[in-house]
Amino acid sequence: MTSFVPATIAGVPRYAAQAAYLAQAWTTSSSSTPPPRKTEQRSLSSTIESPAQSLVEEPTTEVPPPLETIEKLPIEATKTPQEVVGPAISSPDSTAALLHLSLASDHATRAVLFNEGKDFPIVNSTYVSPTLHVLDPYSYKLPSIAGSVEAPTPSSQPVVQCRYAVLHYLVPFLDRELGSNLACDLLDTYFSSAFSSRMHPTCHYIHNFILRRCDVLNPLQPRQTHPGLLASMLFVAALSDKALGLFSGPEERDRVCKYLSLLTYRLLNPSRYEPLLSREDLGLPPALGSDPGWTNDDLRQALDPEMQTDAFPITWGTDYIIALIHVSSVISGSENKAASIRWWNVAFNLARDLKLNQEVESFILSPETEDGYPTWNCRCSMSNDASSDIMNEVHREERRRTWWLLFLMDRHLALCYNRPLALLEAECKDLLLPLDDMTWQSGLQPHSHGTSPDGPRCMLLPSDTGRLQGPPNICSGTGLFEFYLPLMTITGHLLDYNRAKNNPVLASAGSPMWTIQERRILRELDQYQATLDHSTSRPAMIPASDKEPQSPWTTSPTAPPVEESEATHLAKTVSAYATHVVCVLRILVGSKWDPVCLFEDADFWTSSPGFKDSMSHTMAASECVTQILEHDPDVSFMPYFFGIQLLHGSLLLLLVAYRLQGNSGTAILAACEAVIRATEACFVTLPTDYQRQFRNVMRAAIALAKGRRNNPVDTEKQLTFVIARYRWSRNGAGLAR
Query: Is residue 514 located within the same domain as residue 540?
Result: yes
Query: CA neighbours within 13 Å on the CB side: how many for 34?
Result: 8
CA–CA distance, 98 with 111 (Å, rounded to integer): 23
Find the range with the poorest average confidence among 1-5, 295-299, 678-682.
Answer: 1-5
State the residue range of the domain holding 436. Answer: 355-562
Residue 101 pLDDT exceeds 50: no
Q: Each residue of 460-502: pLDDT tens digit?
A: 788 778 899 999 999 999 999 999 999 999 999 999 999 988 8
Of 299, 320, 353, the one marking the end of a domain is 353
Asked whether residue 457 carries a pLDDT value surpassing 90, the answer given is: no
User: Total structural domains in the chain?
Assistant: 3
Whether residue 659 is predicted with pLDDT greater than 70 in this model: the reply is: yes
How confident is residue 389, by pLDDT bands cut at 50, 70 and 90? low
Report which residue type is found at 120.
Answer: F
Same domain as 129, residue 269: yes
pLDDT at 241: 87
Residue 49: pLDDT band with limits 50, 70, 90? very low
Of the chain, the percentage scoring pLDDT greater than 70 comes to 69
In a domain, 154, yes or no: yes
pLDDT for position 173? 87
Please state the rounded mean pLDDT for residues 10-29: 52
Statement: residue 21 has pLDDT above 70: no
Q: Is the pLDDT of residue 218 over 50?
A: yes
Which CA distances in Å does 668 have to 15, 588, 600, 611, 622?
A: 12, 19, 21, 15, 9
Has residue 678 got a pLDDT over 90?
Answer: yes
Say if residue 264 is in the same domain as residue 374: no
From 8-22, 140-154, 440-454, the region with the lowest mean pLDDT: 140-154
Residue 486 lies in a domain: yes
For residue range 401-453, what is the model confidence (pLDDT) as tens digits?
Answer: 999 999 999 999 999 999 999 999 999 999 999 999 999 999 888 888 888 87
Write out pLDDT tens, residues 299-357: 887 777 665 666 788 899 999 999 999 999 999 988 888 889 999 999 999 999 999 99
Cβ-count burial 317-346 (b if 16+ within 10 Å, e if not):
bbbbbbbbbbbbbbbbbbbbbebbbbbbbb
What is the predicted pLDDT for the residue at 64? 45
Residue type, 50: S
Residue 311 shares a structural domain with residue 420? no
Distance, in Å, from the CA atom of 620 to the CA atom of 26, rounded to the nearest integer, reads 20
pLDDT of residue 304: 73
- Which range has the worst mean pLDDT, 408-422, 591-605, 716-730? 716-730
Average pLDDT over residues 223-242: 94
Confidence of residue 523 (pLDDT cuts 50, 70, 90): very high
Residue 619 lies in a domain: yes
Nearest alpha-carbon partner for 476 in 549, 558, 395:
549
Average pLDDT over residues 508-524: 86
In this prediction, residue 179 carries a pLDDT of 81
- Reply yes or no on whether the pLDDT at 131 is more than 70: no
The span from the CA of 604 to the CA of 654, in Å, is: 17
Kindly state whether residue 587 falls inside one of the protein's structural domains: no
Res 134: pLDDT: 29
Report if pTM > 0.85: no
pLDDT bucket at 135, cuts 50 / 70 / 90: very low
pLDDT at site 719: 86
- Residue-level pLDDT at 3: 42
Mean pLDDT of the chain: 76
Tell me, yes or no, whether 121 and 182 share the same domain. yes
pLDDT at res. 537: 86
Which of the four pLDDT bands, split at 50, 70 and 90, describes residue 297?
confident
pLDDT score of 309: 66
Give the pLDDT score at 305.
Answer: 67
- Residue 555 half-sphere exposure, CB side, CA atoms within 13 Å? 28
**Which of 148-152, 179-183, 205-209 has the weakest average pLDDT?**
148-152
Quick one: pLDDT band at residue 557, thresholds 50, 70, 90?
very low
Which of 297, 331, 353 is at the close of a domain? 353
Is pLDDT of 563 > 70? no
In a domain, 573, yes or no: no
- DSSP output for 144-155: -B-SSB-PPPTT
Q: What angle (nearest 5°) sits at the alpha carbon of residue 694, between those of residues 693 and 695?
A: 90
pLDDT band at 227 (very low <50, low <70, confident <90, very high): very high
Residues 6+ apart with CB under 8 A from 68: none
Mean pLDDT, to the nearest integer, of 611-615? 93
pLDDT category of residue 175 using cuts at 50, 70 and 90: confident
Q: Which amino acid is at 218?
A: N
Does pLDDT of 368 surpass 60? no
Going by C-alpha positions, the residue among 607, 694, 477 that lies closest to residue 22 is 607
pLDDT at residue 47 above 70?
no
Residue 62 has pLDDT above 90, yes or no: no
Asked if residue 5 belongs to a domain, the reply is no
pLDDT at 382 over 70: no
Higher local confidence (pLDDT), 547 or 673:
673
Percent of the chain with pLDDT over 90: 41
Q: Are residues 480 and 624 in the same domain?
A: no
Contacts of 22 (CB under 8 A, 6+ apart): 4, 612, 615, 656, 660, 665
- φ/ψ of 734, rounded to 5, equals 60, -135
Lowest mean pLDDT among 13-17, 324-328, 526-530, 664-668: 13-17
Both 637 and 657 in one domain: the answer is yes
Q: What is the mean pLDDT of residues 12-20?
A: 52
Q: Return d(Cα 152, Cα 87) in angstroms, integer.
A: 8
Q: Give residue 616's pLDDT.
A: 95
Give domain status of residue 734, yes or no: yes
The reported pLDDT for the residue numbered 51 is 36
The verdict on 253 and 269 lying in the same domain is yes
Q: What is the pLDDT of residue 397?
A: 94
One domain for residues 323 and 384: no
Q: Do 635 and 685 touch, CB atoms closer than 8 A?
A: yes
What is the DSSP code (8-state) at residue 467?
B
Q: In this structure, how many other beta carbons lie within 10 angstroms of the beta carbon of residue 131?
A: 23
Whether 27 and 69 share a structural domain: no
Looking at per-residue pLDDT, the higher value among 297 and 367 belongs to: 297
Question: What is the C-alpha separation between 143 and 133, in angstroms, rounded?
Answer: 8
* 569, part of any domain: no
Q: Could you tell me if 497 and 518 are in contact, meaning their C-beta atoms sit under 8 angstroms apart? A: yes
pLDDT at position 619: 96
CA separation for the pair 715, 709 (Å, rounded): 9
Reported confidence tier of residue 222, pLDDT bands at 50, 70, 90: very high
Give the C-alpha separation, 482 to 477, whole Å: 5
Say whether both 368 and 409 belong to one domain. Answer: yes
Same domain, 132 and 213: yes
pLDDT recorded at residue 709: 64
Last residue of a domain, one of 316, 335, 353: 353
pLDDT the model gives residue 665 = 85
